[in-house]
Chains A and B, each alone.
Chain A
Amino acid sequence: MPDPMKIRATMQGDKVEVKVLMAHEMETGQRKGHPAWFIQNVKATCNGRTVLAAEWGPAVSKNPFLSFRFQGGKPGDKVTISWVDNHGESRTDEATIS
């Protein structure tokens, strides 16, 4: 089981600012003896509505930090982040907007 993400979601005016720190090796596959191992898909939802969907590649750094803003959230809503890597491993965590 991969380590949990750290997620913070706060109101910034009428937008929700989300900051996510993921724990992942993010191996490019270019190093000898280190097969490619990286997050391929990232999705963020707020109360079931997708607010961000991304396809990532090996160029993203180890332990990626992701920050984004979206409209239409309010304090108390749940923001759920999930990722899937090229090994098929996944992780889903959530935070409450404050």
Chain B
Amino acid sequence: MQSIVRRMAAAAALAFAASGVAMAGDPPIRVVYHINEGVQKAPAVLRNIANELDAEPNTKIVVVAHGMGIDFLLKDAKDPKGNAFTPEIETLGMRGVEFRVCNNTLESRHIDKSRVVPDAKIVPSGVAEIAKLESQGYVYLKP
């Protein structure tokens, strides 16, 4: 009788151990940031992303830009204080953040693809990209 109790306790301990492993293996948090406002908004968005990565370094972050939101991802873009965005974009890129630019926007605003910074990827449609990422389990954030 005693040995059965002991065996049950051992099984319970094993189950706990297994659930502990499962928790450590939880999929990382995935977030899509949506930006459709101009360069006056971008510094705050980039700061939000850096802060999120500071708090949760394993977060996978994709930034999808369309409309006026693509402006900070163009070469020579400057924030309202006159500072270039490139260092921030490259720093976040090194931390695993991906930037995606809407091609519909490039066409409707007659912006040449070559003006987009090399760290950003061009996708056919910004809104479709967001919907796709959300359906894959990305959390939607619009600062």
Contact = CB atoms under 8 A, between A and B. Distances in A.
Interface of A: 6, 8, 19, 21, 63, 65, 67
Contacts of B87: 65
Provide the main secondary structure of the chain B interface.
helix
Provide the main secondary structure of the chain A interface.
strand
A8 B94 CA distance: 8
Nearest to A5: B94
Interface string B58-83: 00000000000000000000000000
Contacts of A67: 90
A21 B97 CA distance: 13
Interface residues of B, number: 6
Interface of B: 87, 90-91, 93-95
A63 B54 CA distance: 11
Contacts of A6: 94-95
Nearest to A17: B118
B47 to A, nearest CB: 13
8 interchain residue pairs of minimum CB distance: A21-B94, A65-B91, A6-B94, A65-B87, A19-B90, A21-B91, A19-B94, A65-B90
Contacts of B94: 6, 8, 19, 21, 65
B89 to A, nearest CB: 10
Contacts of A8: 94
15 contacts: A6-B94, A6-B95, A8-B94, A19-B90, A19-B93, A19-B94, A21-B91, A21-B94, A21-B95, A63-B91, A65-B87, A65-B90, A65-B91, A65-B94, A67-B90
Contacts of B90: 19, 65, 67
A2 to B, nearest CB: 16
A6 B92 CA distance: 11
A88 to B, nearest CB: 26
A5 to B, nearest CB: 9
Contacts of A63: 91
B58 to A, nearest CB: 14
Contacts of B91: 21, 63, 65
A63 B62 CA distance: 21
A67 B94 CA distance: 11
